[in-house]
Structure 1
Amino acid sequence: MPAQGPRFDVHVDSNGYAWWYIDAVSADRRFGLTIIAFIGSVFSPYYKLSGRGRPDNHCAINVALCGPRGGAWAMTERGARHVRRDADHFQVGPSALSWDGDTLVIEIDERSAPLPYRVRGTVRVTPELIGTTAFALDPAARHRWHPVAPRARVEVAMTHPDLGWSGSGYWDSNFGDEPLEAGFDDWHWSRAHLRNDVAVLYEGRRRGGDPFELALKFDRQGRWHDVAPPPRVRLPHTGWRVARATRADSGATPLVTRTWIDAPFYARSGLSTRLFGESVDAVHESLSLARFRSPIVQSMLPYRMPRALW
């Protein structure tokens, strides 16, 4: 399916969702960052309890920083009256993403939870290539993935916490017409910048147990082609006992260099691995939607994902 740019003005139907995801690693590999901007926040307990009738009334910008001096986390949900968006702009409360055709500028002004410290700064994402194709993740195309910029330069200038760095990054988006947990039981995803290409590996189980997998390479012009996925390798479970798995060249032993986020149903990690004949650093995530559906996990979510009342 053809796709171009961020498309912040995409229509999201009832029960649906859209998100834009950015990750980055500093040039010295000491710092990591992820930012996810949500419409119809897929993990929101408030969106679920509302009946998912108004996705635009459940928006959030999630920021997660990790580094040698500790990390920062923020994800406050806000209602429709605090949201403004068009094709190139998406504002949620005091934070916003703006695309000028060359660079995505993200102005962050959030507070963490449950400890209320400030998370504030500016992140600039400049694509080195633009992906022009969206991919269906299920036969009915209810869930779609668009790699907007598989390779990008990222500049981070934070005031809270006080830090700045630059490095390499990745930017994609996902869109869906039903809740994420209605379509999938789990998935494992990773991306790695190779010498000339970007490798993206997606695999998991759809709801009901049917497996799926997607293995792609993107070249410097943004052209993509399917590749045979390397052998599957199990990774150590997280502290919350979330199962992790990845793909690596035969005989290689991937190493989890750091777990950026360790949540009851989700983990994002840095890997040192070998793919397609190259030693690479990869960003990896594992998601257990079976775990997410648990009433115990649902009861935990408001403590980390508050909803603004103002």
Structure 2
Amino acid sequence: MWQNAVGNALALSKDAYKSYMSRATRALSVGSFPPDILALIEEDISLSLPTLHLFAPGRGPLYQDLKDMLCAWVVARSDEGLSYVPGVAKIAAMLLLNMAPQQGFLVLRNLLERHCMRSFYGGMSSRDDVEAYYRIFDTLLADGMPKIYFNFKQHQISPAAYLPDWLISLFLDHLPFEACARLWDILLLEGDSFLYRAALGILAVLEPRLFFPDRRELLELLKGENKAAIEVAKRDGRILEGAAKYEIYGVDEETLWERIDSMEEWWKESTWTRLIQRELPDL
């Protein structure tokens, strides 16, 4: 299902993974694969869906498949002068739970070529596009959730403080696995607009917690590091090593979906299209 939903806009051949993997293997065997990138990959893998234990470095049954896919992805990106981005391992791991590495690689490449994701994965070369996506998000937030918008403005918190963390891992860092799986079913099919609806839905779930008088506390909450919430979660036995960051706030699939559904009252695809045309006219 996910492979069909994402498609193959890059027109990659079915042998693309084999080709890039062959190049990666040669580079690894002769020591020309950048060691700093290899270290980033290993660290990223160690943080990918750790509660499943399927990708645990050196012992997880899907560890080598994940490492191979990421090395092949690095080689493919190097042809465009782009490097590794921590967080991609979580996306690749999610794909490997649902398909073989060859298919997973094609989906990964095409998924991260969608304009919004490509912008956030593009480094300095796509900085202007990322800023445009921040403006789009701010406008949607102001329209649909003005209290949150004005509170963030008062504390000088822009989407740059939280949106990249959510999007680069497609929410896998912050939301429970079941919630992410359900979100992915829709966002892989509908694309960037639903990506933003999901992000707004997260803020809607967090809204009762977002009105701190202190900017530092608010930033800690958005990062999933609010000390008071952590202590409460520990006391209630809700802290699991490797759990999604927002589980300490009680964010779950049902609550998130209720908030996303409630956005039907004000969300309009025409507004999304108009904002894209205004902020990214060349798209």
TM-score by length of 1: 0.24
Comparing both structures, which one devotes a greater share of its residues to strand? 1
Choose 1 or 2 for highest CA Rg: 2
Comparing both structures, which one devotes a greater share of its residues to helix? 2
Q: Which has the higher contact order (CA 8 A, sep 6+)?
A: 2
